[in-house]
Structure 1
Amino acid sequence: MRPQSAGTWLALPVVAALGALCLAPLAILFAYSFFSVDFVTISHDPSLKNYARILQSETYRGLIARAFGSGLLVAAITAVIGYPVAWFLAKRAGAAKTMLLTLLLVPLYSGDLLRIFAWRVLLGAEGAINRSLIWLGAIDAPLQGLLFSPLATHIALTYNYLPFMVIGLWLAFESLDDAWLEAAADLGAPGRDRFRRVTLPLTAPGLIAGGLMVFVMVVGDYLTPQLLGGASGVTVISAINDLFGTAFDWPLGSAIAWTMLAILMLCFGAGAVLIRRSSLVAEGA
């Protein structure tokens, strides 16, 4: 048997599992998005009513926009924090690099619920942050707006997904030749220009890849807004969950899910194009 044939046969179980466990459910979900609910039964007459409802509903449009807005915000925050951390790991950590990378990933070894409840302990009225501020005399009474707010949600989301951004940027910094920065410095370029014209273009593939990972996971996060957001914890993901549960409107839930998926696929396509272009710039350099 030829090596190519052997590889094909070995890949078949993986392809079959991918099709059965991933693609087939998505196809069923797509088909359901064209159905409708008639009292307590699902009508299988196809139509675009569910997608029209999404476009006409200010609530659903607002939830979808807020989800993608949160994704962009957290991706931007993790990028700002991740750049100096990734630079230090790649260029200055030395022998401690392995240990620091392990410490960076330690939070991911614990479950989502454990991390969320740890933030509830920190941000609560009787939590460590409020107690420390009162002890320092900065405040007289606990800050009530820390927990069960958009602030708490975005703090936890940033903490949860920062490692993914740092890893993407760290890999980009590992491949960055310091000679380019030294040449720019020799030519008199200040630090800001060196970052804007050398570091940023050459590390853009890692930034885009890390940003996409963070963006997608924030958009699809269900537990964090529910447990930390309070009244602001209603998200498009929780709306989909309700439609498939108590509301028994599977077709509308499927339509919203596929609308989200379509937007995410467009984002991935745009990200792939940008990564390709930035990689060509890096190779040309």
Structure 2
Amino acid sequence: MGEDRPGIGHSTNLVGLPTDLLASAWFNQAAPEIHIAGVREMNRSLFEMLAEAPDLESAGEAFYKYMIAMFGLDPEQQDHRPGQGGAVRRFHASYLRLLKGWGYDTNAKEGAVLKGWVESRFGLFPTFHREPITKFASKAWITYIEEKMTSRFHNNSIYVQLDLMYEFCQWALARFAAPGESALLLYRGVNDFTEHQMIERIDNRQVVVRMNNLVSFSSDRGVADCFGDTILETRVPVSKIVFFNTLLTSHPLKGEGEYLVIGGDYLVKASYL
């Protein structure tokens, strides 16, 4: 293994745990609570407002309105700049636009921005973007770096938007969606292990795989069946869930019961169709 091969991640992150620990299968079994430093403290008014919400739908509406006000996401609030043929609208990057892009193609530029946010906040390197990332100097790594910084999607404090989405997701799971739960049973369908590094084989059914730093799972095994001949079943720590299908009343990922999950090493049960 060459020295220029990416490891599991950075030595620093914003969640106060060693990255190697956060990425480990042991972390997933222990499933401790984590938070991105300073997000709730800097947005006390949001979480005070959420505390008054009687249900998840009301909380989601409050969060949506807060994000519009904070980041100018309503089309009528976007800047207008003069140009040939009349006024032109400045594009404001949005967490919802990134989710929409992820839903179409996890390896598009929107996916690179989301993976870059995970790298920045949780310290985990991506292992796949369009192709396996095997070296820092590889074409895949360079493409990932270029796309995660693309100006169209990497503006308007997009990482801060994603920080808030994550912390709202954590709040909503604890309050409404999975109170008292430390982990959820989720499924992922794959056709091969191109995007997943095999770390250890426990037996014929159980393996430890290194997931990409951000991956999609489903709470519905039937939905996972549609995405591959092999179903990976695992318990995902609630603290590694970035987004889930009922978090907001209207969003691009609602139809597939999708969960966005922070990666690392997972002990999974593999079932073959």
- TM (norm. structure 1) is 0.26
Specify which structure has the higher proportion of strand: 2
Specify which structure has the higher proportion of helix: 1
Higher relative contact order (CA 8 A, sep 6+): 1
Which one has the largest radius of gyration?
A: 1
- TM (norm. structure 2) is 0.26
